Structure 1
Amino acid sequence: MHDFAKLPLLLKELRLATIRNLWEPFARQALEENWPPDRYLAILCEHEIDARLQKKLKRNLKQAQLPAGKALSTFDFSHAPTLNKAKIQDLADNTAWVNNKENLLIFGPSGVGKTHLAAAIAYGLIERGIRVLLTSTTALVQKLQAARQQLCLPQTLAKMDSYQVLILDDIGYVRKDEAETHVLFELIAHRYESGSLIVTANQPFSEWDSIFADTTMTVAAIDRLVHHATIIEIVSESYRRTHCRHNK
């Protein structure tokens, strides 16, 4: 078989899908414009790499399970004037805190945009190659409980290590049940200095005894979370209630 005819088969075998689709039109352009071979090869490789990055980004966005439309551009900072917008933007743009296995804790009453803010930061991180998963804390705790009953909790926790950032949304809704709070503590302990957590909470730390089964566990959990952490407090009235009043 002539090399020209073999090339698509070879590229398919090598899983170079983008190059397989583009090598012919770029070959014609290279001949017309008298490109050197290294330029032709470099351009094909650049397109292959870009296509793979876009595919990875799309896959990571899907796996992250972020709510649609919750970008920083759609967050109403005027409703929460105490927030440092530049700091929030930096958390989304700069991955250093994730690389350093630091945490982000977002506090505020219900309806002020804690989940929106966490998701918006996550969107920015994903665009920079960070793998993220957002989950309600209650749902995750139930999953971990099931794993413990099946004697595979360590393996389940290890699987979550593939996510550089794990978002525990609404941690305060976990029931004060020994089994639930124990696996939640195990998750926090497992992630300590090994992976970043973003935690959203309605209650301040002083009320976290309502989450964990005993004071000792509460103190230990808080200690692990706040070490190497950025803490953001949203001081505002519920956006949903305000929006409802304005629309009456």
Structure 2
Amino acid sequence: MNDGLENLQNYFKQLRLTETATELPNILRKAEQSTWTYREFIKEIVEFELTKREEKSIEKRMRWAKFPYMKTLELFDLSDQTSLNERQLNQLKELNWLEQQYNLILLGPPGVGKTHLAIGLGIEAIQKGFNVMFVTMGELINLLKTREFTRKSQVQLNRIESSDLVIIDDLMYMAMDSREANLFFHLINHLYERSSIILTSNKSPDQWGELLGDEGITTAILDRILHRVEVVQMNDDSYRMKHRQGMF
């Protein structure tokens, strides 16, 4: 019996059904105890394998997303927001904007939850089958500048360019030189109408030109980002400041 079971498990492994091979003794035990039909037995095996593959796929896409931390939308405290209500948050959570390739711009001062909201939406997107990448603006500029001669940068940018959703955190927190602005434009141009972008920034789009320098590039970037966009203004007081623990 054991030899027969081991042979079956090896067959499953050869078919690259490793998870099912490992779980097979338990599945067989349940089938005997519940007197499953052949159809019920096959259905259990197929559903188990599909579930495990989806779990692995989500785990893989979570790793690739490179979130700085894991905070879901369920942990987002709306009681600290006056500019975003539960209905609006649920609308964002439905991800219709992502399916229609709209962009999101989350504006507000540091500490109001922009990054948390962006990550929460990114996690939600991964769980619904989308590919997501998270990158800070500083990291992105470095990747773009080193792409030509660094394999790691090439891999990261290839993933960004092939993602359904790209989250760029702290957009326009620093001024760019003309080369950096040009590289950033080419990325935005590539993503245009291929992917959705979430941008977090403490500067409104009408201030971006001051940091990009080149008026032509600024206009071209804004045209592509603002063509299909939803802007979420988060101008509450800093959540971190309101809830920080005192040292004394």
Provide the aligned length of Structure 1 versus Structure 2.
Answer: 246
Deviation at 1:227, TM superposition (A): 1.2
Q: 1:4 to 1:58 in 2, by over 3 A?
A: closer
Task: Report percent identity of matched pairs.
Answer: 28
1:194 is paired with a residue of what secondary structure? coil
Amino acid at match of 1:122: G
RMSD: 2.7
Contact 2:133 2:159 in 1 (8 A): no
Stretches of structure 2 lacking an aligned partner (at least 5 in a row): none
Match of 1:52 in 2: 53
Contact 1:147 1:156 in 2 (8 A): no
Deviation at 1:17, TM superposition (A): 1.4
1:124-203 → structure 2 map (5 Å cutoff): 124-148=124-148, 157-203=157-203
Match of 1:205 in 2: 205
Q: Equivalents in 1 of 2:49, 2:168: separation in Å? A: 35
1:119-168 superposed Cα distances (whole Å, 9 cap, x missing partner): 11112112212221111011111111111467xx9987544233211100
Contact 1:177 1:212 in 2 (8 A): yes
* 1:65 and 2:66 are equivalent in the alignment: yes
Deviation at 1:243, TM superposition (A): 3.0
Q: 1:66 to 1:157 in 2, by over 3 A?
A: closer
Runs of 4+ in 1 over 6 A off after TM superposition: 153-156, 245-248
Amino acid at match of 2:142: Q
Q: 1:143 to 1:67 in 2, by over 3 A?
A: closer
Q: Equivalents in 2 of 1:76, 1:25: separation in Å? A: 42
Q: TM-score, normalised by structure 1?
A: 0.88
Match of 2:119 in 1: 119
Contact 1:181 1:211 in 2 (8 A): no
Stretches of structure 1 lacking an aligned partner (at least 5 in a row): none
Deviation at 1:247, TM superposition (A): 7.5
Q: 1:114 to 1:29 in 2, by over 3 A?
A: closer
Contact 1:19 1:48 in 2 (8 A): yes
